[in-house]
Amino acid sequence: MGGWFLAHMEGFTVGPKGIEEGTSKTKAANLASFSDSSPIVVALQFEGFSVSFVQCRGFPVWLKYVPGISFRTDNEPFKVFVSSFFMAMQGFTEKIVGLMKAENLFESQGGPIILSQINTCNGFYCDSFAPNKPYKPTIWTEAWSGWFSEFGGTIHQRPVQDLAFAVAKFIQKGGSFINYYMVGVQTSQMEMLPTNGIFSWESYNEDISSLDDSSTFTTAGLLEQINVTRDASDYLWYMTSVDIGSSESFLHGGKLPTLIVQSTGHAVHIFINGQLSGSAFGTRENRRFTYTGKVNLRPGTNRIALLSVAVGLPNVGGHYESWNTGILGPVALHGLDQGKWDLSWQKWTYQVGLKGEAMNLLSPDSVTSVEWMQSSLTAQRPQPLTWHKAYFNAPEGDEPLALDMEGMGKGQIWINGQSVGRYWTAYASGNCNGCSYAGTFRPTKCQLGCGQPTQKWYHVPRSWLKPTNNLLVVFEELGGDPSRISLVKRSLASVCAEVSEFHPTIKNWQIESYGRAEEFHSPKNFIATLYLVPSRFHVSIVQCPLAHLPWGKPWASFEDSGVFKAQSKQAKKWQVQPCSPQTRSKLRLEMLAISPEANGFAIPIT
């Protein structure tokens, strides 16, 4: 048995007109193909409502506008939605089970699926969990080894001692199955290696000096952003103008006036007469924020344009259908001769989205009259709100790919019209001075990465790529240098594991409750260290006394002559160097990948 894996089956989304099916049949076929070529067992987890996990956008925006609804409460409109969801979930579950049976994927049919489940526990601790039926096993499908990161935040890492203690308590209370959710392997060394691709960039600056009147509207006062955009775009323009008299003191050597903008989230860019004047951002914990900055106004009419940016929809918290997004004010100028000038209730003009979005610049099928410029002509003076595009060929191999965006600021990425997602090279702020596993773990307890970008690598699915002529489009809000963007591939420098004879298992301990004493085999001294290099599929064994190596079928075994005998179809070729207890030596076995689609590997060592 080479390993096991947790399969999520996300089958449908719930829309205002009912259930929309997902890609369950395709995933079932992929799972069947994967399991045929891989020595794995599978735990099948149903995840019918794919909006939260797949789109990462929380509840669908239309649900917010159901009259009288209150999310996640004892509320009739919400219970109607939940009821329809679970009715759909029942049908979805029956459908998935049928698909799995049709592919002969259950263990009773000779397949790899040893269990499928819905009623399980997710959390940092699950020792108090009990299934909803006494005959069901107690299963922990998400043993959280850390926590989600956020832009500008640190990486939260859970001490392995606390996780091991939590697992021990779970087993002590009758737990029978644990899946470590989003594991970071501390004994691994990950490298991001450059590919041979070089991007030749073209750029287009978003024109904010002129707007399409057909796409704007004007009203008095400030409007909530999602009520206007209905999530059609992350971006909403708030635009107004102010008239400044030529006698204002700041025009004759006085201090510049100050603009104050209060926002309910999540970011805002301030433009005065077409020039970026400043930006401000909220956080996941504190969505509300205030921008305060000096503004360079001129005599006559001055145009103030505020670009409010949403970073997704809320997906956790109480009554979050009532949470606001965007600029609700006050918006005011301070430091004029007249004193404070409150702009909140004067006329504001609104535009949903960007011109580049309206022209579909992110799509390979876009047909526009945009005049793209070579980025070398614009590199001397990076501009905000700029679209960049380049074409590239898919790198050879099957290593996972990512874009290194460290040279950029904030924006979005598309490849062949598919959204890679939002990027933001915000530097992490937190407390990275220490980590203690004493007491109950909380995400802020152990932090890493202070002073570094929270994220700079963004995954590029190989399934999105064509062999040649792939379109990469980047929209940059702040500036940035696209020449520093690179396509990299992931390679594990090494994964280390120690092998010992009679490694302690439950059968090796004296179990008095069985009414008999079994002989205890204490672990012998260190036998071997295994190093796996997935990019080249090498296993290296160092310090390997031949007499003590315990490897057995079906993978590999040692013979007394020192020859490494391959007994698996995964083994392609091998190289042998003599090794002895007195001499450090190395044996390298070059192996085929378990599967090109597998972003992982398994080494059986017992």
pLDDT at 72: 75
7 CB-near residues (< 8 Å, 6+ apart): 27, 31, 42, 43, 44, 45
Structural contact between residues 129 and 121, judged by C-beta atoms closer than 8 angstroms: yes
Centre a 10 Å sphere on the Cβ of residue 133 and count the other Cβ atoms it contains: 7
The alpha carbon of residue 402 and the mean position of all alpha carbons in its chain are separated, in whole angstroms, by 12
Tell me the HSE value of 497 on the side-chain side, using a 13 A CA sphere: 14
Instruction: Please name the helix (run of DSSP H) or strand (run of DSSP E) that holds residue 307, with its range, or none.
Output: strand 300-309
> From CA 192, how far away is CA 175, in angstroms rounded?
38
Between residues 356 and 90, the one the model is more confident about = 356
Structural contact between residues 270 and 291, judged by C-beta atoms closer than 8 angstroms: yes
Tell the residue number behind the tokens 């001075």, with chain if given. Answer: 433
Is the per-residue pLDDT at 99 higher than 80? yes
Tokens of 220: 């008095």
- What value does the mean pLDDT take over residues 134-152? 88
Between residues 33 and 123, the one the model is more confident about = 123
Between residues 116 and 9, the one the model is more confident about = 116
Instruction: For residue 146, name the pLDDT band (cuts at 50, 70, 90).
Output: confident
DSSP code per residue over 504-543? --GGGS--GGGTSPPPP-PPPSP-EEEEEETTTTEEEEES
214 CB-near residues (< 8 Å, 6+ apart): none
DSSP tag of 346: S
CA quadruple 140, 141, 146, 151: dihedral, nearest 10 = -140
- What value does the mean pLDDT take over residues 107-118? 79
At 136, which amino acid appears? K
pLDDT at 187: 39
Residue 16 class from Cβ within 10 Å (0-12 exposed, 13-18 middle, 19+ buried)?
exposed
pLDDT in tens, 450-508: 999 999 999 999 999 999 999 999 999 998 999 999 999 987 655 555 444 444 444 44
Instruction: For residue 190, name the pLDDT band (cuts at 50, 70, 90).
Output: low
Instruction: Please name the helix (run of DSSP H) or strand (run of DSSP E) that holds residue 95, with its range, or none.
Output: helix 76-102
Instruction: For residue 52, name the pLDDT band (cuts at 50, 70, 90).
Output: very low
> From CA 211, how far away is CA 351, in angstroms rounded?
8
Is the per-residue pLDDT at 319 higher than 70? yes
* Mean pLDDT over each residue of the chain, to the nearest integer: 76
pLDDT at 378: 59
Between residues 377 and 596, the one the model is more confident about = 377
Is the per-residue pLDDT at 13 higher than 50? no
Smallest CA-to-CA distance from 291 within 313, 262, 326 is with 262
Structural contact between residues 335 and 256, judged by C-beta atoms closer than 8 angstroms: yes
Instruction: Give the chain's length.
Output: 606
DSSP code per residue over 48-72? -BHIIIII---S-GGGGGSTT--TT
- What value does the mean pLDDT take over residues 580-591? 32
> From CA 161, how far away is CA 169, in angstroms rounded?
12
Report the helix count and the strand count for the chain, using DSSP H and E. Answer: 7, 36
Write down the pTM of the prediction. 0.76
- What value does the mean pLDDT take over residues 57-63? 72
> From CA 28, how far away is CA 42, in angstroms rounded?
12
